[in-house]
Structure 1
Amino acid sequence: MVGKFASALTRALLVALLMSTPALILPNVSTDAIHIVILFALFAGSLVFIEYLSTYPSIVEFRYAPPFNRLRFLAIFLCVLTLSVIARGRYEPNALTSFLYTLGFIVGDWIDFPYSPVRLMVIMLPDNASESLVLAVRTASGMAYLISLATLTLFFFYVRILGWPARNGAFNVWVNLPLFDPTAGGDVLPRLQRDGRLNIALGFLMPFLIPAIIQMMSDLIDPIYLDDPMTLIWTISAWAFIPASLIMRGMAMTRVAEMIDENRRRAYAAAQAVHAI
């Protein structure tokens, strides 16, 4: 019980730190913004603490199949941290901020071709956007996209080379997929395959859909001002993290479906062998 409490508390503190990172790194953050960040950090940390303190998961998927959630957290944390350091360089430049800015600028410029996700993020900006804002959005988008691609590559290595999640021992489908209802009807195998492919397809489409959704929302309500560093950090981080998370979930569900299919084939083969004897 003590170990579970410490583990849940550690995860809650890490999530709270994630929510607070831009406010801790950026200079000249307003008092109102700090209060809002503290409120969100407390809420997110409490939610994670309650989730991991309970015996059975209710929201978090693949809780007992590391390093799925650890990779997702690492991806969003690195994205928020890196973009915060780059934004700080506008006020207090140093060697680290210059290096990260240059890396993001190179990647953003490299993938800023017609109809690319980065180009759509740049086009989303208003016509009167300054050149510095365009460069900031392109640089942040390039850095965030690089981190998301690296995370997907690492998870693909875990799945296809290291055999995740079978390498961690027995895999309980119902505990690791609390949001997947096995009694909804039909065989679970095609449903897992369908949901996995749907998540992968949505993950590939989201980088193109998110700028369009933001643009449509800006026409209906107050537009999102990316010239604010904190807004820029969270918008670009969500733009890169949500698609990567969906693709990872799709890859994981497809892998689980493959494991179920393999177990069924072995069970059928064993049953036929016994029947033949």
Structure 2
Amino acid sequence: MRIMCLNGWGGKLHDSLVAYVAEASPDVLCLQEVVHTPASAEAWLEYRDGDHILPQRANFFRDVAAALPDHAATFCPAAQGVLWDGEEVVPSQWGLATFVRNSFPVIGQIQAFVHKGFSPDGYGDHPRSRNAHAVRVHDYARDRAVAVVHTHGLRDVAAGKSDTPERIEQARRLAEIAVRIADDGDRLVVCGDFNVEPESETFQILAGIGLTDLVTTRGFTSTRTAHYGKPGRFADYMLVDGLTEPVSFEVVRDPVVSDHCPLVLEI
């Protein structure tokens, strides 16, 4: 089974990302920063947050789902805010998406929040709502269940990626979701753009439920691409429990499909 985790950057590098995902065709794709605007027929809209302006693929979720026709696609909104089409305001949802190959039946799932709750009337002030999605699938080839959990950690403009009480609570909630989704004997994978540094207490909390990070323990020095120009080269992590035996793990640097690198695990 191949599991991919990727922050899609709102589809800014849409063509490269969709082509890469279609070719790689992971069994489970955990995708963060996903835009879903079903009421709009436009290909591109614009996100505006003060001086921060970013093109957004209006129906990024639909586009990735079309690239993975043999997968069940689930969108998990964290908030509904607005994007812009010139001077026209367009309501749009933002959150996570999970894609699971149809040959792996989804036998359990949890959609929950790790920070705040659903924001229906705007994205809100930072740090904004953040959710998580967990799926438990049956692997017929190995006759076992595999639980996969992913999240997008909160962004804190003032604190950067340093630990805050909100981030500690976020990690605790993530650990609780992981414990709830996985039965005894399941393989467990927890991943996402955590928005923290490797020294974060997040990893001590996740170690408390038996998880080990693959990015930092295997010598990778960054999970960001050249499109990210700020200090701090880590954001994305993938952790496994003691029963999970990685066949391979890679931080993919080529092709460049986002300001984040895809993480790919084979178990």
**TM-score of the superposed pair, with normalisation by structure 1:** 0.31
- Find the structure with the greater CA-based Rg: 1
Larger fraction in helix: 1
Which structure has the higher relative contact order (CA within 8 Å, separation 6+)?
A: 1
